[in-house]
Amino acid sequence: MATTIATLRSRLRIDLSEATVSRWADADLDRHIQHAVRDLNRASPREMKDTSLSVSDPASRDVDVSSLAGLIEVVAVEYPVGSYPKRLRHFELWGSTLTLLTQETPVAGASLYVYYTAQHTVDASTSTLPEHLEDIALVGAAGYALLDYAASLDNTVTVGVNAPGQLRAQANDLLMQFRQDLTALKRERYRVVQTGELWTEDNR
């Protein structure tokens, strides 16, 4: 069964010890899940490869990349394709136009591969988060949910486990763990050469 935001919401309710709707409406938990996913996108986005693009006819160094859904950044461009080692070219990206910085004009109709990062998607039908990122997202979502609930109790008189101070302390512990996980994910990605600095040809 495919993971959806409803699946993650059910798991989040278990983590929050709330099997039925009491403190949080479904929409509130969905908002906190999406908040955590946005944070994850900055630390560990999807690593994608698009093989559908080609040089325009008539030939141009400019390539429209608006079809790359959820694009965060282009990491590398392979042209021509199929060589070993790969011919990874210098490029510029402005808006949705990628420009190959090659001395020669590309061949009209020739394929090119774009390696890029994209946002994770979590909605009513699917989730692109791998299992280990789901677990991290739920830690962050739980922290955001508890912090939000604690804020709603600030003007009320409560004692015991539902006191705002205790809820806020629990939320901060979860969010500290979430930020540590994000930092670890970022470090794992530092092995990738930064955007636009990958190439294998001697000349442009």
Cβ neighbour number for residue 88 with a 10 Å cutoff: 20
Rounded to 5°, the CA angle 58-61-67 comes to 90
| Dist. CA 185–CA 155, nearest whole Å | 38
Beta-bridge partners for 88:
78
| Dist. CA 78–CA 87, nearest whole Å | 5
* Domain residue ranges of the chain, discontinuous segments joined by +: 5-44+125-189, 46-118
Beta-bridge partners for 74:
116
Please, what is the end-to-end C-alpha distance for the chain in angstroms? 47
Entry pTM = 0.84
Digitized pLDDT (tens) for each residue of the chain, 204 residues in all: 579 999 999 999 999 998 666 789 999 999 999 999 999 999 999 999 999 999 999 999 999 999 999 999 999 999 999 988 899 999 999 999 999 999 999 999 999 999 999 999 999 999 999 999 999 999 999 999 999 998 888 766 555 556 778 889 999 999 999 999 999 999 887 765 444 445 455 444
- In sequence order, the 6+-apart residues with CB closer than 8 A to the CB of 12 are 29, 32, 33, 138, 141, 142, 145
pLDDT at 158: 55
